[in-house]
Amino acid sequence: MTIAQLCLLVACVLPIVCAGLAKSKGFGKRRRDGGFDNNRPREWLANLSGWQARAHAAQANSWEALPVFLAGLFVAHQHQAPQGTVDALALGFVAARLAFIGLYVADQATLRSLVWFAGLAVSAALFFV
């Protein structure tokens, strides 16, 4: 398995990690006490605020970023791009996504947007290596 393939696996797991963060304060509580409601998860998530709401938004954005990264890896593979370059770009994408999630949860909007753009640029670069 290449580093890029491992990065793809990590990128696929990141939205699930964000979901866990968003729901974390609700786990262990009873539903009537504001705990996570698995019978109506979307309604419960819609009522989140603060860092939990931002973690939920980071989850959605992580799913949205994944297809472009996946397509970039696919194209790079089809073009038989140098594996070292593909691995480096994939690591850059994962680093950008981790930073993005951290900045999103920390409510650092401007820096978060810059890091989001960096992740997009890395995904786009995969199409041209």
Query: What pLDDT, in 10s, does the model give residues 2-22?
Result: 999 999 999 999 999 999 999
- Mean pLDDT, residues 59-68 taken together: 97
Domains of the chain: 3-22+50-128 (1.20.120.550)
Number of alpha helices (DSSP H) and beta strands (DSSP E) in the chain: 5, 0
Higher pLDDT, 39 or 99: 99
Token pair in block for residue 96? 């950008």
Q: What is the mean pLDDT of residues 28-42?
A: 64
Contacts of 114-122 with C-beta under 8 Å, sequence gap 24+, read 116/61, 116/65, 118/92, 119/65, 119/69, 119/92, 119/93, 120/65, 120/68, 122/69, 122/72, 122/89, 122/92, 122/93, 122/96
Higher pLDDT, 49 or 25: 49
Which stretch of 37-41, 57-61, 79-83, 85-89 has the lowest confidence by average pLDDT?
37-41
Contacts of 102 (CB under 8 A, 6+ apart): none
- The pLDDT assigned to 70 comes to 97
> Residues of the chain with pLDDT > 70: what percent?
90
pTM score, whole prediction:
0.89
Helix axes 50-78, 109-125, angle to 10 degrees: 10
